[in-house]
Amino acid sequence: MTTLAGHAPGSPGGSPSERLPETVVAPSVAASLKASVGAYIALTKPRIIELLLVTTVPTMILAEGGLPSLGLVLATLLGGSLAAGSANALNCYVDRDIDQLMRRTSRRPLVRHTVTPARALVFGLLLGVLATVELALTTNALAAALAVAAIAFYVVIYTMVLKRRTSQNIVWGGAAGCMPVLIGWAAVTGSLSWVPWVLFAVIFFWTPPHYWPLAMRYKDDYAAAGVPMLPVVASPAVVASRIVAYSWAMVATSLLLIAPLGPSGPVYAVVAVALGGVFLREAHLLQGRIRAGAEAAPMRLFHWSITYLALLFLALAVDQLL
């Protein structure tokens, strides 16, 4: 048996501490490769991608009036994932200076130096190119163009222009997160109608009451990084009142899809009203706790908002399939 240094055990060429078995090499390389792949995956923020894709499939079912072909669904999900991963990786590249100042983002790959900025930039751009080509070849040009618009809006308009300049950053920047419903609809129909724009508006109004509670929880982080999220520059009472206002707008918009105005039937109607009622209750409870001077507990609404969106779009799909 030989060692890493190339000496036989007991030979004068190496000390006992140097004489490690060759079998150590393979696990070490494998671990390094696993860490590297994990770092690049982390750049894409996969948990955010999951939430975006939850809205895409039900939208495609609604556009089809039933189940679209499995191949089209998979192609759209792949392209959408690549586009979202591109936007998120480029966001990490642009925000690497402030990410190191916030506890919530302190473990991102660029902060930990597990990926270099240059490689993160190339990776993000490559994902964007792959997303565009894949959607153009497997769906249609409109879906591909919408994916490009989503990437550009998130990286340029939100990350580079709005995020560090205005407390309305997440309101307008959140429009990028609404794009998957347009992409999913376009992939099925090759066009856009008023229905996907209503879905777009639901997510648009959902974004502030979803994100501002998180920003309340990490207010000190954003303040340290100089990012003027609304909870940093406004009182908790003001933030809560705006959360309530956007919540009402979101619920009202979601009801536009109910027949006879919209394409959805009784299943969606019942679920949308019930979920909306719970969402509004949570929003008003948050406002009530703040007015009473009690612990705000904003993460209650944050976690519920994720459940709300997933169940609402699930109901949209079930309604069509039934």
Q: Are residues 182 and 201 in the same domain?
A: no
Q: Are residues 238 and 140 in the same domain?
A: no
4 is a domain residue? no
16 is a domain residue? no
275 is a domain residue? yes
CA–CA separation, 252 and 321 (whole Å): 24
Q: How confident is the model at residue 4 (pLDDT cuts 50, 70, 90)?
A: very low
Q: Are residues 219 and 311 in the same domain?
A: yes
* Other beta carbons within 10 Å of 211: 21
Q: Are residues 128 and 249 in the same domain?
A: no
195-235: pLDDT as tens digits: 999 999 999 999 999 999 999 999 999 999 999 999 999 99
What's the number of domains the chain is made of? 2
263 is a domain residue? yes
Q: Are residues 60 and 175 in the same domain?
A: yes
8 is a domain residue? no
How distant, in Å, are the alpha carbons of 12, 158, 286 from that of 83? 57, 16, 34
**Last residue in a domain, options 188, 220, 235:** 188
pTM of the model: 0.88
Those residues whose C-beta lies under 8 Å from the C-beta of residue 18, and which sit 6 or more positions away, are 3, 4, 5, 7
79-96: pLDDT as tens digits: 999 999 999 999 999 999
- Burial, 22: exposed, middle or buried (Cβ in 10 Å; 0-12, 13-18, 19+)? exposed
42-74: pLDDT as tens digits: 999 888 788 777 899 999 999 999 999 999 999
Segments forming the whole domain that contains residue 319:
193-322
